[in-house]
Amino acid sequence: MDETQSSKEDTGLKGLYCGPIDFTDPMGRRLLRGVSVSFTPPTLCVITGPSGSGKTSLLRAISGLNKAHVPERRLGNRTYSDRRLPEWRSRVTLLLQDAPCIEGTIRENLAFAFSFKNALNKEFSEKEACELLKRVGLDHFGLDHPVNGLSGGERHRLSLVRGLLWAPPVLLADEPLSGLEPELAQVCFELLYEYSHKRPAVVICVLHQERFARQADTVLRLKDGTLH
pLDDT tens for each residue of 48-82: 999 999 999 999 999 999 999 999 999 999 999 99
Give the integer Cα–Cα distance in Å for 226 and 228: 7
| Alpha helices (H) along the chain | 55-63, 85-91, 106-111, 126-135, 152-166, 182-198, 210-213
Give the integer Cα–Cα distance in Å for 155 and 153: 5
What's residue 25's pLDDT?
A: 94
* Domains, the chain, with CATH or none: 13-227 (3.40.50.300)
Tell me the pTM. 0.92
φ and ψ of 19, to 5 deg: 150, -170
Do the beta carbons of residue 136 and residue 187 sit within 8 Å?
A: yes
3-class DSSP assignment, residue 69: strand
117: which DSSP letter? Answer: G
pLDDT tens for each residue of 149-196: 999 999 999 999 999 999 999 999 999 998 899 999 999 999 999 999
Q: Would residue 76 be called left, alpha or beta, if left means φ above 0 and alpha means ψ between -120 and 50 degrees?
A: left
Which amino acid would we find at residue 24? T
pLDDT tens for each residue of 114-126: 988 777 789 999 9
Q: Select the more confidently predicted residue: 7 or 187.
A: 187
| Paired sense of beta strands 226-227 and 218-223, if any | antiparallel
CA dihedral sign, ordered 113, 118, 121, 122 = negative
| Listed range (3-12, 134-143, 171-180, 190-199) with the worst mean pLDDT | 3-12
Mean pLDDT of 185-214: 96
3-class DSSP assignment, residue 19: strand
φ and ψ of 189, to 5 deg: -65, -45
What's residue 1's pLDDT?
A: 31
Give the integer Cα–Cα distance in Å for 120 and 151: 32
3-state secondary structure 21-65: EEEECCCCCEEEEEEEEEECCCEEEEEECCCCCCHHHHHHHHHCC
